Structure 1
Amino acid sequence: MKILITGGAGFVGSNLAHFLAGKGHEIHVVDDLSEGNIQNIEDLIAAGKCKFHRENAFHTEIKSDIIYHLACQKMIYSIRKPREDLYANTATTVNILELARKQDIPVVFTSTGSVYGNPTVFPTPEDYPPDPESPYGVSKWAAEEYCKLYHKMYGLNVVIARLFSVYGPRQRFIGVIPKFIKQTLEGKPMTVEGDGTQSRTFTYVDDCVEVLILLSEKGVPGEVYNIAGEKPYSIAQISKTIADLYGDYGIKFVSRKKGDLDQIHPSTEKIRALGWRPKIDMETGIRKTMEWIKNG
């Protein structure tokens, strides 16, 4: 199968590329490297298992069997550059949908739990009204709506995955778990934003990759699925787990960023109905991430 992955040099995209290449698929990665790192897929390129394209995916002549659309600008940058965020996350998604519509290619689109903002219902189901707190959340929500529209108007086979706090190998050190691990390895205090009581439902990247492939096979077109781990953990709990495992060098508290959310605990009943369960528990995921950082 010929597979196109936008954002395939990024964190989740490169892990997806490695897994699918290992299954013998022909992988094409499109990435402008504004967020991604070519080193994440250099081994695949050298082995002839992946072809890298730096041009805009909409202008490529690649005719694939499926598109995994992961390319986006991250939340941390959207606060400073909302206009660029709109283009990267919404306009680019429309370009991909147009490419898919013209070539009749199914799409798996990765959105974010940030579309919910600060919900009041937990676990939060997919039909909870979005109320994003950042340009990133708004642009991703708008992209979701375009996906639904393309399915409704054109019959495009597009499935939406709302990802929650994915972590693991190849993640940049802006992610809370790799950041804490790196600081601990350097003998520095972990930098906690706010008081650490805010919570996240973390998803190990291998589990995320597995569920994206499942959605390409069993996901209902036009539908949204929450993708998250078993239960929420506070940032304070994560810092304590890492300190217990690798040494306690203290905590440095700093102010929270704009757009940071309080509690994130999605319902995963819908994706579980397709047979998915996360396999990697938090401590195992932290250990795997630590090994990658130490060997990196």
Structure 2
Amino acid sequence: MKVAVTGADGFIGSHLVEALVRAGADVVAMAQYNSVGSWGWLEDLPADVLDGVEVRLGDLRDAGTTSSALAGASVVYHLGALIAVPYSFDAPRSYVETNVLGTQNVLEAVRRESSRLVHTSTSEVYGSALSVPISEDHPLQAQSPYAATKIAADKLVESYVAAYGVRAVTVRPFNTYGPRQSARAFIPAVMAQALAGRTTVRVGSLSPRRDLTFVADTVAAFRAVGELDDDPWNGATFNAGTGSSWSMGHVLHEIARVVGVHLDVDTDAERVRPPAAEVRHLECDASRLRAATGWEARSSLREGLEATRAWMAEPRHFGSYKPDLHQV
């Protein structure tokens, strides 16, 4: 089966491409165009996997390159997006253009092709939890421009299902982490500093709680949804998370144990979100996904951190991180 993945050059997208190829799919990987021809994290895939991938450089904001990349795909996994919450306060228009208009371009392409669409949302659309665990019926609360654009994209998918009969489902992952994640996120930012020998690490707030899902489990959720029978392709939304949450302070302690060091903390004001923008607590209710597909997260936090440390410690991977630079 021919499938297409947008955002294939990114963290989760590259892992999904690898899993789909290993499962026997014919994969078209849409990556962000750049003048040096970089394929992003796709270049980290083994050669035998890349042999099964057709890489197409383009831009979600451009309807032509998007339509061309997705042509002929039976299923489109739409992961392409601008994702960093802090940067969305600096460049909100970019997030509207990529996350909202880009999603519209994807929807028009799948509408013409009669493809099925697996659309990627985010737990950030729920804002700070009003109740936990968070089900798909929890109110949507935009506490950042990023979250607002993802809500808008989700609603666009909903409208294309209702108005045009597009066959689509939405996956809402909760805080995925693991190999290939950029240092804008808490775990790789702290781990990079620890692996570089820093005994005092610069961090933001340590009180927010997150449901941390290892990337292999998130990818398994995407695949499980993408392989559903016809009935659920009616705009259904599925949360994907572990059902447990941890404070960032606890996670920092676990990173120190995994790396084998003692870490002191220096709170960096630049890494602290404005109080009204900070999502305080995210904890997933994935019972709908479990009932529909049998999926459940299998990796413990310790196992996921161990796998992340082993990957990051390899010189060719660690060289892509800048431990002393705050990346938004």
Specify if TM > 0.5. Answer: yes
Aligned to 1:41: 42
Q: Distance in 2 between matches of 1:178 and 1:37?
A: 22
Whether 2:255 is the aligned partner of 1:242: answer yes
Report runs of 4+ in structure 1 exceeding 6 Å deviation.
none
User: Shift of residue 170 of structure 1?
Assistant: 1.0
Matched, 1:58 2:76: no
Rounded Cα–Cα distance in structure 2 between residues aligned with 1:232 and 1:146: 30
1:12 aligned partner: 12
Give distance in 1, aligned partners of 2:133 and 2:7: 29
d(CA) in 1 for partners of 2:284, 2:192: 28
Alignment of 1:24-173 (within 5 A): 24-32=24-32, 38-42=39-43, 43=45, 47-56=50-59, 57-60=65-68, 62-74=71-83, 75-173=85-183
Give structure 1 stretches of 5+ with no counterpart: none
Asked whether the equivalents of residues 242 and 284 of structure 2 are also in contact (C-alpha less than 8 Å), the reply is: no
Task: Kindly state the Cα deviation for residue 182 of structure 1 after the two structures are TM-superposed.
Answer: 1.1
Q: 2:208 aligned to 193, 198, 211, which one?
A: 198
Equivalence map 1:273-284=2 (5 Å): 273-274=291-292, 275-284=294-303
Taking structure 1 as reference, are residues 277 and 40 closer, same or farther at Cα in structure 2, changes over 3 Å only?
A: same
How far apart, CA to CA, are the structure 1 residues paired with 2:129 and 2:194?
Answer: 33
- Tell me the residue number matched to 2:286: 268
Conserved? CA contact 1:106–1:158, under 8 Å: yes
Instruction: Output the amino acid matched with 1:69.
Output: H
Q: 1:162 to 1:214 in 2, by over 3 A?
A: same
**Does the 8 Å contact 1:27/1:51 carry over to 2?**
yes
Cα distance change on mapping 1:23 and 1:252 into 2, 3 Å: same
Task: Tell me which of 204, 209, 212 is aligned to 2:222.
Answer: 212
Among all aligned residue pairs of Structure 1 and Structure 2, give the percentage whose two residues are the same amino acid. 27
Shift of 1:58: 2.5
The normalised TM-score by structure 2 is 0.85
- Aligned mate of 1:182, from 182, 192, 215: 192
Q: Separation in 2 of the partners of 1:45 and 1:109?
A: 28
Asked whether the 8 Å contact 2:243–2:283 carries over to 1, the reply is no
CA-based RMSD: 1.8
TM-score, normalised to structure 1, is 0.94
Distance of 1:172 and 1:37 partners within structure 2: 16
Counterpart of 1:228 (choices 222, 229, 241) is 241
Asked if 2 retains the 8 angstrom alpha-carbon contact of 1:114 and 1:132, the reply is yes
Q: CA deviation at 1:190?
A: 2.6
CA contact (8 A) 2:258 2:305 kept: no
Q: Distance in 2 between matches of 1:257 and 1:265?
A: 19
2:252 is aligned with what amino acid?
A: S
Q: Distance in 2 between matches of 1:59 and 1:167?
A: 30
Find the residue that maps to 2:87 and give its secondary structure. Answer: helix
Gapped regions of structure 2 (runs ≥ 5): 60-64, 318-328
Equivalent residues in 2 for 1:254-265, closer than 5 Å? 254-255=268-269, 256-258=272-274, 259-265=277-283
State the 1:44 CA deviation. 5.7
The 1:272–1:54 alpha-carbon spacing in structure 2 relative to 1, beyond 3 Å, is same
SS of the aligned residue for 1:78 comes to helix
Distance 2:33 2:122 in 1: 20
Q: Aligned partner of 1:269: which letter?
A: S
Q: Report the alpha carbon displacement of residue 214 of structure 1 after superposing the two structures with TM.
A: 0.7
**Displacement after TM superposition at 1:52 (Å):** 1.2
Q: Deviations along 1:48-78, whole A, 9 cap, x unmatched?
A: 2211111234241631111000000012321
Read off the aligned partner of 1:265 and give its amino acid letter. Answer: E
